[in-house]
Each structure stands twice: as C-alpha cells, then as structure tokens.
Amino acid sequence: MQEKELVRKLQDVKHKDNAFQHLVDLYKERLYWHIRHIVKIHEDADDVLQNTFIKVHKNIDRFKGESKLYSWMYRIATNESITFLNKKAKKQKLSSQELQEHIIENLASDVYFEGNEIQLQLQKAIATLPDKQQEVFNLKYFQEMKYAEMSELLGTSVGALKSSYHLASKKIEKYLKSN
C-alpha cells in the first residue's frame, strides 16, 4: 500500500482500525529499536512504543503529509522516549544524567542485555554525549541509517550530520580509551 493511500485510510473512520493495524505491523520494529536505544530497557521501550502508537492513532488526523509518515512517527517516538525518561527521573528523584548512569550500571544484570564489556562501555560512552549527538550516533552506528535518510528524518543537512557523527565517534573513542 502506498503511503498516501495508507494515510487516507488512517484518516477515514471506516478504514482507520484496519489501516492502523497495518501501520503498526509496518513500523513497530523500526520504532522499537529507535526507542530502545534511548530508554535502554526492554520493558520501558515496550511502554513507550505502546504510547507512541496510541498518540499516532489519536493525532493521525493532524498529519498533513508535509513530511514522511515515518518521520512524523519518529518525532513522536523521540518525544515520548524523552518524556518517559524525564518522568522516570522525577519519580526516582534523580537528574536525567544520574538516571542514565543508573540504567547503564544495571544493564549488565538485565536479562535483555547480552552485550559484552565493550558494548557496556560503549553505552556508557554514548551516555556522555549531548542528546543530539547520541541520536545521530545511534541512527548511524546501530541502525546503519544512510545520511540522506537521516537528513530527511531530522531536517538537518548531510554535512552537519557527518560532522556530528565524527565528533561523537571521536568522543566515544576518547572515552573508551581512557576508561
């Protein structure tokens, strides 16, 4: 189904439920991994993915087609992830940075993390990056997204994305070497 057709059905009360199921099947994995790299814990990623799709369902009539549907959902997922982490930090009376450190410290004992010590260190290194650099690094390194696609998704020039990725890689390299 073409994206325009899918959007038309999503915005049509008669076809909305079927089209929405199709949308979920189409994008659940991509959105899950995007969210997972932000919140790190599977159960939290599942929660945020649920919330993201609910928000998409609720607001699909507002989607004007000015960007790609995935770009729109990606921004919702990003925002939901950040909101989720902020709320979690507040509940645990921690700063965002402290929460991120706490999550990563506990990754080793997470049943849904099977990374080795280097991968654990890599997560710690990523956590030291500014949010935007984390986002670019996750998209490029883990999700292997092409710069052109990333540029469309984030509304940032390819050149800026490349420099951001290189900068992030350099900082990670430095962190890993010194730790």
| Sites of contact with other proteins (CB under 8 A) | 24, 28-30, 32-33, 36-37, 40, 42, 46, 49-51, 53-55, 57-59, 62, 64, 66-67, 72, 75-76, 79, 83, 87, 90-91, 112-116, 119-120, 123, 130, 132, 140-149, 154-156, 158, 160, 162-164, 166-167, 169-170, 173, 176-177
Tell me how many degrees the CA angle 132-149-153 measures, rounded to the nearest 5.
50
Identity of the residue, 100 or 164, whose beta carbon is nearer to other proteins in the bound complex: 164
User: Least Å distance between CB 97 and other proteins?
Assistant: 17
Q: What is the DSSP string of 22-60?
A: HHHHHHHHHHHHHHHHHH-SHHHHHHHHHHHHHHHHHHG
User: Least Å distance between CB 1 and other proteins?
Assistant: 19
Identity of the residue, 102 or 163, whose beta carbon is nearer to other proteins in the bound complex: 163
User: Least Å distance between CB 49 and other proteins?
Assistant: 8
Identity of the residue, 24 or 94, whose beta carbon is nearer to other proteins in the bound complex: 24
User: Least Å distance between CB 4 and other proteins?
Assistant: 18
Collapsing DSSP to helix, strand or coil, 11 comes out as: coil
Write the DSSP symbol of residue 10.
Answer: H
User: Least Å distance between CB 163 and other proteins?
Assistant: 4
Distance set, CA 120 to CA 50, 113, 125, 154, 171 (Å)? 27, 9, 9, 27, 16
Task: Specify the residue for token string 């965002």.
Answer: 96
Distance set, CA 91 to CA 78, 106, 130, 179 (Å)? 20, 18, 23, 30
User: Least Å distance between CB 96 and other proteins?
Assistant: 15
Identity of the residue, 5 or 173, whose beta carbon is nearer to other proteins in the bound complex: 173
Identity of the residue, 2 or 117, whose beta carbon is nearer to other proteins in the bound complex: 117
Collapsing DSSP to helix, strand or coil, 105 comes out as: helix
